[in-house]
Amino acid sequence: MNAARTLHWLLLLPSLLLLALLLGLPLAAMLARSLEPNVLLSFTGPALDNYAYLLSRAYYLQVIWRTLRLAAETMLIAIPLGYAAAMLLQGLSGRAGNLAIMGLTFPILAGPLTVVLGWMALLADGGPFLGPLVEAGLIARPRLLGSEAGVVISLVQFVLPFAVLTLYTGLRQIQPPMHEAARSLGAGALSRFWHVTLPLSLPSVLSAGIITFSLAASSFISPHYLGGAGQLTLTTLVSQFIMATFNAELAAAAAGLLLLLMLGSVVALTAAIGRFIRP
């Protein structure tokens, strides 16, 4: 018995070491760095002055608020869209169902850089969708590139496959007998959805919410290319601190804030939706 337990931990050791050495230790070094003085702020470290600085300037508060807002908007749009798709995909079976699911992983594997390249063209004022509409005088120049709307459109597209895959798995685990029971008791389609399917699927809605919010809050490529300098988020702010103003300590503090805000959002989301999940 003891030998089995030793073997168990020996087998887990490499992955735990990988996590500790390549994630835990680097994050600790980064957080330590975020407490140190720098070219902009002089104080005797370790202290929280970098965080206080970021949280006291209207400009950086705007960046923080924009990061959270983009992530929340993306989540709130992607979850209903993904839920409807996941419900409809339950109806497909066999080859068609497999292909549909496989198709969803395809943009994930092609990579966000490739996809955002497409959005840069599609959202441009002279692009294939908006160009003809503008020329025909149907719409004013929409200027989606460099706007928050453009970033949200591409973020929704980026997180949608993750949302559908998560919700699809969750919905499949709801037992058909539950629906049969509700039907035999005379419940209509809407009532079955409201009283049976939706409550039972809430755990996967929560998972999908956490995944879509986290992916959107931590995305770099969409805000960088589609938002630009006028639409900085915490990730693009970090890269600006490193590449443009060479301030490693403020970059570390901005990254620390992002981690903290994401953790807080996950806790808040779990509390908000968790209240409705029956044990």
Partner 1 sequence: MRGSIRALGRLAGGLYLLLLYLFVMGPLLFVIATSFNPATSFPSRFEGFTLSWYAAILERPEFLAATGTSALVAALAAALAVLVAFLAAYALSRQGGAGGRGAMATLLASPLLVPQVVVSLAILQLASSFGIGTGFWGLVAAHAVYVMPFALRLILTGFARFDFAVEEASRSLGGGPLATWREVTLPLLRPSLVAGFTFCFILSFVNLPLSLFLTGPETATLPIVMFAYIESRIDPMIAAVASLIVLAAATATLLLDRFLRVRLVD
Closest CA to 83 of 200, 179, 207, 171: 171
Enumerate residues 105-124 that contact partner 1 by CB under 8 A.
105-122, 124
Q: How many helices (H) and strands (E) does the chain have?
A: 14, 0
Residue 201 makes CB contacts below 8 A (sequence gap 6+) with 83, 167, 170, 171, 174
Contact criterion met (CB below 8 Å) for 188 and 103: no
Q: How many CB atoms lie within 10 A of CB 72?
A: 17
Residue 206's alpha-carbon distances to 67, 76, 193, 265, in angstroms, are: 20, 12, 17, 12
Beta carbon nearer to partner 1, 171 or 182: 171
Enumerate residues 199-238 that contact partner 1 by CB under 8 A.
214, 217-218, 220-221, 225, 235, 238
Enumerate residues 140-199 that contact partner 1 by CB under 8 A.
154, 157, 160-161, 165, 168-169, 172
Q: Is 8 in the site for partner 1 (CB under 8 A)?
A: yes
- In the complex, what is the shortest distance from the CB of residue 184 to partner 1, in angstroms, rounded to a whole number? 19
Beta carbon nearer to partner 1, 55 or 121: 121
Of 39-47, 196-204, 257-265, 271-279, the segment contacting partner 1 by CB under 8 A is: 257-265
- In the complex, what is the shortest distance from the CB of residue 180 to partner 1, in angstroms, rounded to a whole number? 19
Enumerate residues 26-55 that contact partner 1 by CB under 8 A.
26-27, 29-30, 32-33
Beta carbon nearer to partner 1, 58 or 142: 142
Contact criterion met (CB below 8 Å) for 254 and 238: yes
Out of 15, 42, 44, 93, name the contact with partner 1 by CB under 8 A. Answer: 15
CA separation for the pair 258, 64 (Å, rounded): 8
Q: Is 126 in the site for partner 1 (CB under 8 A)?
A: yes
